[in-house]
């Protein structure tokens, strides 16, 4: 009788993918609620099953080997199919209503994929969605007009699940003459949201610490307005790369390092609802690529 082919360990595959996505198997262990030694053992088991190294260190970062790159493509597809099958089988009885909100930066990048897949797999759960700014989402949560919200973390928030920290960046149109403004000592033109805005505050504080004068030349209620003003060459802004249009670029040399900003998943209450718990898990996983590695 022919020997049966060996099966890849799904938990080991999940740790492998999470470690590369997080840039660290220690961070992946936290996300997976496992010890770092357990995740390390799973990686070793996976390498033994494949008969080849999958990951190597390059400085402080992880890098896939050629075999690791090949396996990663299969691993993502296998995990997606595995999770979809389990959700389809276990989720037949999921019902109810979930009202979800997302900060504008994530709305276009995450909302369609997450909600579309969830709705197809659990048609008896009624979903309503809202894309808005941080303060509006926090107010809606406090008034119990939303059940979940993916937003930028601020010091005033409590009872949120921190997914990770997203790098901030100075964003401008390639034709914007940043060097000229700095050489002439002219106030740097800023394109920002109306106050209050956490990124607006971070931008002005960073420039003040660096002794760089600034002035607000354009304010907007929406992220699309910010992108349009930057594409018109009106100034520079501080945001993340989430949803960044291809026509805009990042300035990384002439201005002070802006640091990172936390991505948080907030709940209106701690009700133990299986449909909501599943959606929280899907959102947290989908947001991981935005997290600093």
pLDDT at position 270, please? 63
Residue with tokens 């890098």: 63
pLDDT at position 277, please? 79
| Residue, of 229 and 287, whose pLDDT is higher | 229
- Asked if 134 and 198 count as a contact pair (C-beta separation under 8 A), the reply is yes
- Asked if 188 and 213 count as a contact pair (C-beta separation under 8 A), the reply is yes
- Predicted TM-score of the model (pTM): 0.65
Contacts of 72 (CB under 8 A, 6+ apart): 16, 17, 20, 64
Which residue ranges form the domains of the chain, and what is each CATH number? 10-90 (1.10.10.10), 97-292 (3.40.190.290)
Spatial distance between the Cα atoms of 266 and 280, rounded to a whole number of angstroms: 9
Following DSSP, what letter does each residue of 160-201 receive, concatenated?
Answer: EEEEEEEEPEEEE-TT--HHHHHHHTPPEEEEEESSS-HHHH
Q: Which structure tokens are listed for 168?
A: 């901030």
| Residue, of 156 and 106, whose pLDDT is higher | 106
pLDDT band at 252 (very low <50, low <70, confident <90, very high): confident
Residue 157 has pLDDT above 60, yes or no: no
- Asked if 46 and 12 count as a contact pair (C-beta separation under 8 A), the reply is yes
Percent of the chain with pLDDT over 70: 91
What spatial distance separates the first Cα and last Cα of the chain, rounded to whole Å? Answer: 47
State pLDDT tens for residues 92-113. Answer: 556 778 888 888 888 777 777 7
pLDDT band at 265 (very low <50, low <70, confident <90, very high): confident
Across 15-24, 82-91, 203-212, least confident range: 82-91
State pLDDT tens for residues 27-42. Answer: 777 777 778 888 888 8
- Asked if 220 and 248 count as a contact pair (C-beta separation under 8 A), the reply is no
Runs of H (alpha helix) within the chain: 10-22, 25-31, 36-50, 66-90, 104-121, 134-142, 178-184, 198-209, 223-231, 274-287
Spatial distance between the Cα atoms of 219 and 238, rounded to a whole number of angstroms: 13
Spatial distance between the Cα atoms of 221 and 236, rounded to a whole number of angstroms: 16
Average per-residue pLDDT for the chain: 83
- Asked if 293 and 24 count as a contact pair (C-beta separation under 8 A), the reply is yes
- Asked if 166 and 153 count as a contact pair (C-beta separation under 8 A), the reply is no
State pLDDT tens for residues 114-135. Answer: 777 777 777 788 888 888 888 8
């Amino acid at each position: 009788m022919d020997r049966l082919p060996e099966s890849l360990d799904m938990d080991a595959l999940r740790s492998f993918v999470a470690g590369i996505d997080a840039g660290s198997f220690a961070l992946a262990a936290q996300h997976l609620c496992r010890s770092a030694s357990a995740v390390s053992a799973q990686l070793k088991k996976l390498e033994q099953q494949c008969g080849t190294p999958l990951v190597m260190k390059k400085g402080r970062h992880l890098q896939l080997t050629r075999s690791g790159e090949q396996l990663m493509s299969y691993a993502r597809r296998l995990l997606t199919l595995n999770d979809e099958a389990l959700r389809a089988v276990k989720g037949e009885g999921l019902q109810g209503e979930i009202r979800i909100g997302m900060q504008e930066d994530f709305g276009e990048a995450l909302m369609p994929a997450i909600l579309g897949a969830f709705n197809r797999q659990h048609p008896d759960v009624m979903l309503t969605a809202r894309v808005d700014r941080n303060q509006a989402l926090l107010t809606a949560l406090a008034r119990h007009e939303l059940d979940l919200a993916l937003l930028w973390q601020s010091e005033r928030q409590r009872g949120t699940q921190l997914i990770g920290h997203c790098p901030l960046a100075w964003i401008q149109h390639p034709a914007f003459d940043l060097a000229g403004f700095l050489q002439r000592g002219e106030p740097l033109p800023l394109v920002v949201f109306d106050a209050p805005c956490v990124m607006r505050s971070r931008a002005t504080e960073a420039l003040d610490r660096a002794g760089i004068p600034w002035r607000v030349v354009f304010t907007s209620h929406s992220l699309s307005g910010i992108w349009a003003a930057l594409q018109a060459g009106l100034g520079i802004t501080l945001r993340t790369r989430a949803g960044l249009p291809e026509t805009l670029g990042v300035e990384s040399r002439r201005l002070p390092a802006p640091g990172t900003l936390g991505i948080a998943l907030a709940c209106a209450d701690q009700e133990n609802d299986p449909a909501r718990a599943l959606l929280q898990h899907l959102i947290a996983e989908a947001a991981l690529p935005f997290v600093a590695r």
